[in-house]
């Protein structure tokens, strides 16, 4: 009976996995079809494996420029989040008073606010900063990076905060006795011990920022500054949708994230559970 239940459970998991992977399958097979073939049967395999539509998608998306923009915005945003959030979380953990607890709860509470409720006031504030303070926050990669850091810092502080509690304070005290400065204690002793959670945060933020469409669409209007998600919108016109080119473009979009995730996935569960349990 146990074997039957186990087989049924495994079959259920297999069907569930197929359900979750079905959008990937549909995207891949239709990226090789022409429009007529696509409309005949969305689920059928393509008649040929020509990469013609991938080439056309790359050209119309201006893929390499968009890829460079996405790569720059993502890497700089994630780098700043890691540096600032790790230092903030360390100070909040080591400064154990009611003000640090209040500040930590403030970070946690901001995670509960939906971005959709903030996007219009945010754009108005950025517009005011541009007009009054003459700081270009809109239609620049710098402004987009600034906002990405703000929206991803809370989660990073939360995860770092739980992990840093497991770091023995005796190591920091020993480094201080050896003449290490506060700055040196963090970067030479504490931060190297945060490798697992740092990679976890980097993975989560890379996936989130790379795939983000809404914030860049509100911030960037110059075609030369567009990220990959904005470039794929080219295929969705007002009166017609080039589905085969869109599928090819979307496939190109997810490949870098999939490669990054495959090499770093083992750190996700390890980092989150280590920070939660310890």
- pLDDT given for residue 83 in this prediction: 94
Closest residue by Cα to residue 162 from 253, 90, 62, 269: 90
Q: What is the pLDDT of residue 278?
A: 47
pLDDT tens per residue across span 153-178: 999 999 898 888 888 888 888 888 87
Nearest CA-CA partner of 56 in 234, 189, 182: 234
- CB atoms < 10 A from the CB of 223, how many? 12
Considering the entire predicted model, what is its pTM? Answer: 0.82
Looking at the domain 46-277, which fold is it?
A: MetI-like fold (1.10.3720)
Measure the CA dihedral 41/47/50/52, to 10°: -40
Residues 6+ apart with CB under 8 A from 180: 188, 189
Distance CA 69, CA 71 (A): 5
> What are 138's two structure tokens?
């809109």
pLDDT at 209: 92
DSSP state of 138: S
Positions of the chain with pLDDT lower than 50, given as ranges: 275-278
- The confidence score (pLDDT) of residue 240 equals 63
Distance between CA atoms of 180 and 51, rounded to whole angstroms?
58
Separation between Cα atoms, residue 184 and residue 121, nearest integer Å: 40
Contact 208, 226 (CB under 8 A): no
End-to-end CA, the chain: 39
pLDDT of residue 270: 64
State the pLDDT at residue 196. Answer: 83
């Amino acid at each position: 009976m146990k074997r039957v239940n186990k087989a049924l459970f495994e079959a259920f998991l297999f069907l569930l996995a197929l359900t979750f992977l079905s959008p990937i399958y549909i995207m891949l097979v239709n990226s090789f079809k022409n429009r007529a073939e696509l409309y005949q049967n969305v689920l059928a395999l393509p008649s040929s494996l020509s990469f013609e539509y991938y080439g056309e998608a790359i050209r119309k998306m201006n893929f390499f420029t968009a890829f460079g923009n996405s790569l720059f915005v993502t890497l700089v945003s994630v780098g700043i989040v890691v540096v600032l959030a790790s230092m903030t979380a360390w100070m909040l953990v080591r400064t154990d008073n009611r003000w640090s607890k209040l500040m930590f709860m403030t970070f946690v509470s901001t995670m509960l606010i939906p971005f959709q409720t903030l996007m219009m006031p945010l754009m108005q504030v950025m517009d005011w900063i541009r007009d009054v303070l003459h700081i270009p926050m809109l239609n620049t990669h710098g402004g987009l990076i600034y906002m990405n850091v703000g929206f991803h810092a809370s989660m990073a502080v939360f995860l770092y905060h739980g992990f840093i509690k497991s770091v023995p304070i005796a190591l920091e005290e020993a480094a201080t006795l050896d003449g290490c400065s506060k700055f040196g204690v963090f970067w030479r002793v504490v931060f190297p011990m945060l490798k697992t959670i740092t990679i976890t945060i980097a993975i989560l933020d890379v996936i989130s920022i790379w795939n983000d469409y809404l914030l860049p669409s509100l911030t960037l209007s110059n075609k030369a500054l567009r990220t990959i998600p904005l470039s794929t919108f080219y295929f969705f016109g007002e009166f017609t949708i080039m589905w085969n080119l869109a599928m090819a473009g979307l496939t190109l979009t997810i490949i870098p994230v999939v490669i990054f995730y495959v090499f770093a996935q083992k750190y996700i569960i390890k980092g989150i559970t280590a920070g939660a349990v310890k």
